[in-house]
Amino acid sequence: MFARTDLPLTARVFLSQHWLRPAASSVLSEASVITDDRWVGLLRISDASVQAGVVYLSTGPCGFIADCGLVYVPSGHASPEAAGLRYYSHDHLFGPWWRYIYQD
């Protein structure tokens, strides 16, 4: 039986934390903007935004009509699920990192 797992993504995020955390913190402080595709560690990030005090890092389309990516939740902030953002689903990976799927 096959099962879907977040293990490959979790491993890439874990190995890329050294680059991802500063990039997310910079977007959060509005010191930088990501609007074009670029490699951040082992992940290709195509867009970044701040919503409800957390950083959404888009890794691009997944499936036919969905956008997927990572969420960075700074220390002291509630989980992204607490914000109640419409059309978003979230899964916790580890520490401050979550996976999201946006589908409207």
Residue with the larger pLDDT of the pair 100 and 83? 100
**Residue 85 — pLDDT band, cuts 50, 70, 90?**
confident
pLDDT at site 4:
62
Q: Is the pLDDT of residue 56 over 90?
A: yes
Q: Is the pLDDT of residue 2 over 50?
A: no
Cβ proximity of 59 and 69 under 8 Å: yes
Residue with the larger pLDDT of the pair 1 and 63? 63
pLDDT above 70: percentage of residues in the chain: 96
- How far apart, in Å, are the Cα atoms of 40 and each of 24, 58, 59? 10, 11, 10
22, two tokens: 């500063």
pLDDT tens readout for residues 4-47 = 678 999 999 999 999 999 999 999 998 777 888 999 999 999 99
- Which of 23, 3, 35 has its CA nearest to residue 96? 23
The residue ranges of every structural domain in the chain are 7-103
pLDDT at site 48:
93
